[in-house]
Amino acid sequence: MQREDELPWYRQFWPWFLIAVPGLTVIAGLATIWIAMQGNDSLVTISDVGMDVVTEHHAAAEQRAAAMALDATVNIDPASGAVLVEMHSTSTAEWPQTLKILFSHPTNAQLDRLMTLRAAMPDDNGVPRWAGHIAPVPSGRWYLILSASDDWRLFGVWSGANSIRLRPATAADNNGER
């Protein structure tokens, strides 16, 4: 009997093909680990008091907003960057002189923008309003979080519309908006 292939194994195609498949898998795995190590996890909020305390604090602020039946309408002028917030509530609450609104990017915390809104003249119906300015107006999808110091928090998802309604996150969850 005579062998048809007289070439040594290292000069044939199939041994190298069979070695290359797991070799490329190892290289792809190392590349994936390298990419993952290049950035931090911006979706996790780190605080001096710990993650659980921050989460409980935010939940309590959202529950206070729900108990006060708070919601807000945020109007953003894309041309000028003017931001106007109108608050609505069934309770007769003392309104603060300033509000904070956070434009939170869904995936990159370095793009987050926090701005302070100052009390403006109420409208003709007595609805309290706050005004501010953001430049440039962000584009894309953002989470908006409106708060008055640590008293209450309202939440909404903004995708560039001129107007958005913010509600307590628990109410937004129940309406399927989150």
Tens-place pLDDT, residues 115-157: 999 988 887 777 889 999 988 888 889 999 998 877 888 999 9
Residue 105's SS3 state is coil
Residue 41's SS3 state is coil
Give the model confidence (pLDDT) of 79-89 as tens digits: 888 999 998 88
What pLDDT is stored for residue 45 in this prediction? 55
Q: What pTM does this model have?
A: 0.65
39 pLDDT higher than 50: yes
17 pLDDT higher than 90: yes
Q: How many CB atoms lie within 10 A of CB 64?
A: 16
41 pLDDT higher than 90: no
Distances (CA, A) of 96 to 102, 128, 148: 17, 10, 7
Of the candidates 87, 75, 104, 105, the one whose C-alpha atom is nearest the C-alpha of residue 152 is: 87
What pLDDT is stored for residue 20 in this prediction? 96
Judge residue 159's burial from the number of C-beta atoms within 10 Å of its C-beta, 0-12 exposed, 13-18 middle, 19 or more buried: exposed
What pLDDT is stored for residue 84 in this prediction? 92
**Cα dihedral 57, 60, 62, 66 in deg (nearest 10):** -170
Averaged pLDDT of the chain: 82
Token pair listed for 51: 């993650």
Topology of domain 51-174 in CATH is Immunoglobulin-like (2.60.40)
Q: Once rounded to an integer, what is the mean pLDDT over residues 75-101? A: 86
